[in-house]
Structure 1
Amino acid sequence: MEFFGILGGTAGYVVAFIVALSIIVAVHEYGHYIVGRWCGIHAEVFSLGFGKVLYTRTDKRGTEWQVAALPFGGYVKFMGDANAASAGVDGEAMAGLSEAEKRRTMPGAPLWARAATVAAGPVFNFILSFLIFSAIVTVRGVPSEPVQVGTLQPLPQQVRVLEAGDTILQIDGKEITDIGSLYDATAELDLTRPVAYRIERDGAEMIVEGTTPFPPLISSVSPNSAAIDAGLEVGDVITAIDEQPITAFKELQDIVREGEGKPVALKVWREGEVLDFTMTPRRTDLPTPEGGFETRYLIGINGGLAFEPATDRLGPLKALEYGVRQTWFIVTSSISGLYNMVSGAISSCNLSGPLKIATTAGQMASQGGQSFIWFVAVLSTAVGLLNLFPIPVLDGGHLVFHAYEAVTGKPPPEKLLNVLMAIGLTLILSLMVFALGNDLFCEGGIFWKIRSWFV
């Protein structure tokens, strides 16, 4: 992550994007390759990237492994395929093969073997995602129950009433049993008076008074947000907004929400220094627990507790369950988002193109290794889902062709297949151009930022 920071700016973003994409593509294509091999289908070429070959070697099975100059994708070419997209049959290569040799080709393999090989790419993307999510939650742990104070966060002129090792039993009379109940109790606090904490310290219960456990402390900065463009960082503490002093993150949320997109001026404490920032909240469509979306104006930061809670380790099964749930949430939110964009319920600017994804990769890398790895998992889920869409040239399109063959007993006619592939390629290229337009012209895009300099 320091390497990306040394590169800085555009170069760092591009390198971070290439690293993330290369990992995802390698896993996706390896899924095709290894499942194809298990199914008895021979892979002639495994390529990371397109264009001029920079490195190549042939293994003992006769597969050529190569790295090409354009690192924005990859492919596995199986024996008998007409091309790297597995579109059509190489009739010349298939001519004269024995039945045993044809079984080792993609066209000559049983339908189940071809379908499994095609589906393996997206499935491996999902596996990568939930394994990463599981690993991160294993490393982080989960807040202990009952809630115990771990490390205290550095805050400006903060009167400390909680100490490391304290167990929080009540907040203003409300029972605290887990981190969720702490969030709920904090949301209902009267910020005009001190907060009463019933705690257990060194085996004795006592009541102490202090400020909210949720100060205006930044725990994370969202990529492609007003906050990250302005230069806010994790660990910053916002002491005032529009010259109005604040002591709780909720006060910041309320002022930004009521402003409905009006610029805000922030005073920020950073390692003993007070800095001034001005930014304009951006209209953002957020998924709701019910499956829909709500539109809010946000500057793009998340708040953190005044302390790091003590944590417990999750067992392997619980960690994997968390990883699967997180992956499923991304899948369902993405499908819901696409549906709502098509129906016009939310802005089509929510569809990101390569420029915005590259920027996100760089910004997540700048926030640390764990943030970057999390981004890789999210992008891997998105790539897996996209490849399952029933569009010719994508894996989902091939699976539709296999379903047609399963029903009719024969594959689609070669001419029809070629026409559908051309249509599919046109759709994908059109979608890429549309998404690139979003990156350039939507709020937060390149031309939008340039225009804002002169307005």
Structure 2
Amino acid sequence: MSNFLFYLAAFAVVLGVLIVVHELGHYWVARLCGVKVLRFSIGFGRPVFSLFSGADRTEWAVGAFPLGGYVKMLDEREAPVAAQELHRAFNVQPVGKRMAIVAAGPLANLLLAVLIYWGLFYSGTEELRPILGAPPAASAAAEAGIQNGEVVVRVDGRPVQTWQDFRWELLQSSVNKSAGAEGGEPDPGYVSIEVQDARQQIVFRRLNLTPLREQGYEGDPLGLLGVNFFRPQLAPVFGKVTPGSPAEAAGLLSGDRVLAVDGVAIEFWSDVVQKIRSAPDQPLRLSVLRDDARLEISVVPEGYGDRGARIGRIGVGVRDAGPSRDELTVTVRYDVLTALSKAVEETWEKSSFSLVMMGKMLTGEVSWRNLSGPVTIADYAGQSARMGIDYYLKFLALVSISLGILNLLPVPVLDGGHLMYHMIEIIKRGPVSERFMEIGQQIGLALLLLLMAFAFYNDINRLISG
């Protein structure tokens, strides 16, 4: 229950911040343009809380349904406006001002992302180094010849500092190269990865991107390619045994070296972990070496849930700690101006990428199962919050970008749809008819409901399938 409440709180903070920032964008620009704001509401429906402030007696409210918000402005189309206040109505403003007010919400979300990235880049964030792990057999990474411990230096000539950089560059390369054949690119199906091997020599690996595209980019892109983070090849020797654990109950001791599990020879600690995790509540026969004597010990891993799956654990750690934290991580930090430049670049790249992925969903190149609803977003919010404030802020920035771009799409009922109406007004030199707007609203609402239905279906499907 406490875990559920934590995830719910993490989601509520993300949702609240994004809605407030979005609506404040509309509010501030409306005020700058001289438009009177009647209500600023977080959520829809009947207000459960409200107060009035300012010379205009603006109502600040919280609605019963908090999935969204709105800014209600003085407008002749909604209610009669007194003659002395007509100049402050939204509908009588020049089209340029109206477009600025409408666009301010999504742009505020994009600005929030810039500010978050700016703060993170300037203060410094600790990231995993781009160290590759041993790939699964017959995977694209294995075919490329990737070896455990190789450090990524560049992807298609672009420098990489962190594991997240590597993941982002790999995904971008795959999406950008999907049209490579038409663009005359010689080898659109592969990406070139420059790595530093164990002998500190530079080696080039050609990674086949086909599996990623065939799956419609559904799921973890690196996992689809068989790309793993580095796992040190530790000796299979037990360290601390947790009191009251299945390991202690079975008689396992610190210092025991695992030779085999159910008759299968064990070479590394990762092999032991894999065997235990894959056998929840099932007896395993461990062959261990203790003081030069070989012992056969049976242990039953305790089963527990992990992200929808059930895995086993016996309550024992590895004796060798492996590489230090400094060897596995790097701190990325820039001066104030470079950090701002990087923040703008990061926001621009992720915004462009979002648009490209949306376009590929429409053409069928990207699976619609990539759409996420509130349940998945809440899950990711909770996961990122548990990982630390840096990860949580990055998640907030990413969702803020997605919200900003989504609202700029030319779909009626979204801000982008209203911008489209205003563009038509400029072209035809007159406002669009009420009938045209009404039909547009109905179509836009239908599209939005369809999108929400897909998102909820994907959420439910992920819950069921794990």
**8 Å Cα contact 1:141-1:314 kept in structure 2:** no
Task: Report deviation, 1:70.
Answer: 2.1
Q: Is it true that 1:187 corresponds to 2:204 in the alignment?
A: no
Task: Report deviation, 1:325.
Answer: 1.4
Letter in 2 for 1:323: A
Paired position in structure 2 for 1:448: 465
Task: Report deviation, 1:240.
Answer: 8.2
Pick aligned residue for 2:62 from 61, 67, 83: 67
| TM-score between both structures, scaled by the size of structure 2 | 0.60
Pick aligned residue for 1:97 from 83, 93, 106: 83
**8 Å Cα contact 1:265-1:277 kept in structure 2:** no
* Contiguous gaps of at least 5 residues in structure 1: 1-5, 82-88, 148-170, 198-223, 228-233, 256-262, 269-274, 283-302, 450-455
Paired position in structure 2 for 1:22: 16
**8 Å Cα contact 1:35-1:116 kept in structure 2:** yes
**8 Å Cα contact 1:47-1:66 kept in structure 2:** yes
Task: Report deviation, 1:7.
Answer: 2.8
Deviates more, 1:59-68 or 1:431-440: 59-68
**8 Å Cα contact 1:56-1:66 kept in structure 2:** yes
**8 Å Cα contact 2:51-2:59 kept in structure 1:** yes
Paired-residue identity, %: 31
> C-alpha separation between the residues in 1 aligned to 2:266 and 2:306?
17
Could you say what secondary structure the match of 2:90 adopts?
coil
Aligned residues: 324
For residues 206-355 of structure 1, the aligned pairs below 5 Å read 239=234, 245=267, 265=275, 306-307=326-327, 313-355=333-375
Letter in 2 for 1:361: A
Q: 1:343 to 1:179 in 2, by over 3 A?
A: closer
Paired position in structure 2 for 1:291: none
Task: Report deviation, 1:14.
Answer: 2.1
> Deviations 1:229-286 (Å, cap 9, x if unpaired)?
xxxxx99978589976559xxxx9xx9xxxxxxx964789xxxxxx99999999xxxx
Letter in 2 for 1:448: S
Task: Report deviation, 1:51.
Answer: 2.4
Q: 1:196 to 1:357 in 2, by over 3 A?
A: closer
Task: Report deviation, 1:317.
Answer: 1.4
Q: Is it true that 1:362 corresponds to 2:382 in the alignment?
A: yes
Could you say what secondary structure the match of 1:307 adopts?
helix
**8 Å Cα contact 1:365-1:371 kept in structure 2:** yes
Letter in 2 for 1:59: S
Paired position in structure 2 for 1:432: 452
Q: Is it true that 1:58 corresponds to 2:25 in the alignment?
A: no
Runs of 4+, deviation exceeding 6 Å: 181-186, 224-227, 234-238, 240-243, 275-282
> C-alpha separation between the residues in 1 aligned to 2:16 and 2:122?
25
**8 Å Cα contact 1:48-1:67 kept in structure 2:** yes
Q: 1:378 to 1:185 in 2, by over 3 A?
A: closer
**8 Å Cα contact 2:368-2:454 kept in structure 1:** no
| TM-score between both structures, scaled by the size of structure 1 | 0.62
Q: 1:281 to 1:125 in 2, by over 3 A?
A: closer
Task: Report deviation, 1:309.
Answer: 6.2
Q: Supply the RMSD in Å over aligned alpha carbons.
A: 4.3
Pick aligned residue for 1:135 from 119, 122, 125: 119
> C-alpha separation between the residues in 1 aligned to 2:47 and 2:29?
25
**8 Å Cα contact 2:105-2:404 kept in structure 1:** yes
Paired position in structure 2 for 1:414: 434
Task: Report deviation, 1:446.
Answer: 1.2
Task: Report deviation, 1:187.
Answer: 3.2
Q: 1:433 to 1:372 in 2, by over 3 A?
A: same
Task: Report deviation, 1:340.
Answer: 2.2
Task: Report deviation, 1:344.
Answer: 2.1
> C-alpha separation between the residues in 2 aligned to 1:428 and 1:318?
39
Letter in 2 for 1:398: H
> Deviations 1:144-190 (Å, cap 9, x if unpaired)?
xxx9xxxxxxxxxxxxxxxxxxxxxxx99x9xxx9759999993424
> C-alpha separation between the residues in 2 aligned to 1:51 and 1:391?
23
Task: Report deviation, 1:13.
Answer: 2.0
Task: Report deviation, 1:342.
Answer: 2.2
**8 Å Cα contact 1:239-1:266 kept in structure 2:** no
**8 Å Cα contact 2:412-2:441 kept in structure 1:** yes
**8 Å Cα contact 1:129-1:327 kept in structure 2:** yes
Could you say what secondary structure the match of 1:328 adopts?
helix
Paired position in structure 2 for 1:42: 36
> C-alpha separation between the residues in 1 aligned to 2:383 and 2:275?
23
Pick aligned residue for 1:80 from 67, 75, 82: 75
**8 Å Cα contact 2:121-2:332 kept in structure 1:** no
Letter in 2 for 1:405: E
**8 Å Cα contact 1:265-1:278 kept in structure 2:** no
Pick aligned residue for 2:101 from 94, 100, 117: 117
Q: 1:392 to 1:371 in 2, by over 3 A?
A: same
> C-alpha separation between the residues in 1 aligned to 2:36 and 2:414?
21
